[in-house]
Structure 1
């Protein structure tokens, strides 16, 4: 028995109504979906940390999610794990005609253009007409990632700033509108304008060829390191320190990491 077959048999055993695990038996697509998303982020974290033993484990956890969903689908007569693999195999061959067919693609841009064209053809075959240039961006994506994908798709049809400078100016414009909303004190307006600031910063990151999700992860990791140093090096509890002492401790933590 192969490793995959063993994994599938383990999952089937866990879901067995008579002798399986009570927790696993209780789950459905909706309850497992958040775990699937969480495991994908843990894979990303292992990659960011360059922790390859951890990456191996997290990839296994992510594979388990695919097996879990496939087992539930098989129980309902929808599809099986082998169908998932076959569908993926067919898709990869179909979307790479420059590798598996007679098409040619000399650069990455051509590959991307061909990929999008093939995806449109697939949607048409499924009866999903191409209604918008923004089609195909899942609503469940993390907000920063979804904003970036929406902007990339809009840019493909020419709706984009010509270069970085006007995007940077737009950041200042959106910040000014946020300041105005703050002065007026309307919560909904403040949230709208704050969202516009974030959306424009994502646009700026795209023009700077920076992944906004990765940039924010790095900033969060940097903050976490500095804060932990503050906690470790401070003789008093942070809760008891005034703003001046906290600022001094923060600056000391920053220097220690340079």
Structure 2
């Protein structure tokens, strides 16, 4: 009987970590693989946002391999298997979607998300019998902008947020003015404090519009890098070195690079 792709990959992994397998793979632990998981996850995100379908397929396979690797190591320690992890997740998704797998009904998505949060807190409380805080499950290692989005999202699920978008806009304006006051002084800690508050408020403004600040900033970074690379190319075509050009000349190149994007954006 032909094996499915998951079983084939598990067989490959078992061969790699066998006694006569790969010297590097045999020494790995769940802890040693964490940085690779982070790196490959970022590569997968980049492929989804900017790459081709082939890129996504390759990076998805790399992430899957590492997750299977970790599960196999825990299984060899006698703790749990990949099947255990998948079955646990399936049961969790069923519990957290009573509107799909039971007879619950939600008038709005906000109601659904609030129930999701309640179910999640109940699950965690059942683990050790102690009540869990709203943010206890928030990973410390999340990138700051992603963490800000998750904080606002969770707070909103328990009703701790502004009622109207206009109120958030006013908060952003207030934080901007506080930043201007701080930036006019010499207290760097105060400046850092106010800049953080401004970014935190902007993250909530984006969330309420369905925009993740980390993703929006990533796209902005990509646009800048693309335009700057085009500026360098245009400078070379003129037989000039970009660092030696005046700011006005660089601005001209920047505007040209930006203008070249418009036909593509209109398609």
Question: TM-score scaled to structure 2, two decimals?
Answer: 0.85
With over 3 angstroms needed to count, the CA separation of the structure-2 counterparts of 1:100 and 1:158, relative to structure 1, is closer
**Counterparts of residues 1-258 of structure 1 (less than 5 Å):** 1-16=3-18, 18-49=19-50, 51-105=52-106, 108-127=109-128, 129-234=130-235, 235=238, 236-258=240-262
Q: Secondary structure at the match of 2:168?
A: helix
| Cα pair 1:163 1:207 within 8 Å, conserved | no
Q: CA deviation at 1:22?
A: 2.5
Return 5+ residue gaps in structure 2 as ranges: 263-267
With over 3 angstroms needed to count, the CA separation of the structure-2 counterparts of 1:166 and 1:112, relative to structure 1, is closer
| Cα pair 2:110 2:157 within 8 Å, conserved | no
| Cα pair 2:37 2:66 within 8 Å, conserved | yes
| Cα pair 1:46 1:55 within 8 Å, conserved | yes
With over 3 angstroms needed to count, the CA separation of the structure-2 counterparts of 1:200 and 1:244, relative to structure 1, is same
Q: CA deviation at 1:158?
A: 2.7
Q: Following the alignment from structure 1 to structure 2, what is the Cα–Cα distance between the partners of residues 213 and 223?
A: 15
The range that moved more, 153-162 or 126-135, is: 126-135
| Cα pair 2:121 2:134 within 8 Å, conserved | no
> What is the count of residue pairs matched by the alignment?
257
RMSD: 2.2
Q: CA deviation at 1:110?
A: 4.2
| Cα pair 2:171 2:201 within 8 Å, conserved | yes
Q: Following the alignment from structure 1 to structure 2, what is the Cα–Cα distance between the partners of residues 36 and 244?
A: 44
With over 3 angstroms needed to count, the CA separation of the structure-2 counterparts of 1:140 and 1:240, relative to structure 1, is same
Listed one character per residue, the Cα deviations across residues 119-163 of structure 1 (whole Å, up to 9, x for unaligned) are 122112212633433343222222111111111222233322222
Return 5+ residue gaps in structure 1 as ranges: none
Q: Following the alignment from structure 1 to structure 2, what is the Cα–Cα distance between the partners of residues 144 and 115?
A: 23
Q: Following the alignment from structure 2 to structure 1, what is the Cα–Cα distance between the partners of residues 209 and 91?
A: 35
| Cα pair 1:178 1:190 within 8 Å, conserved | yes
| Cα pair 2:117 2:157 within 8 Å, conserved | no
Listed one character per residue, the Cα deviations across residues 172-202 of structure 1 (whole Å, up to 9, x for unaligned) are 3223333333333233322222211211110
Q: Following the alignment from structure 2 to structure 1, what is the Cα–Cα distance between the partners of residues 129 and 260?
A: 56
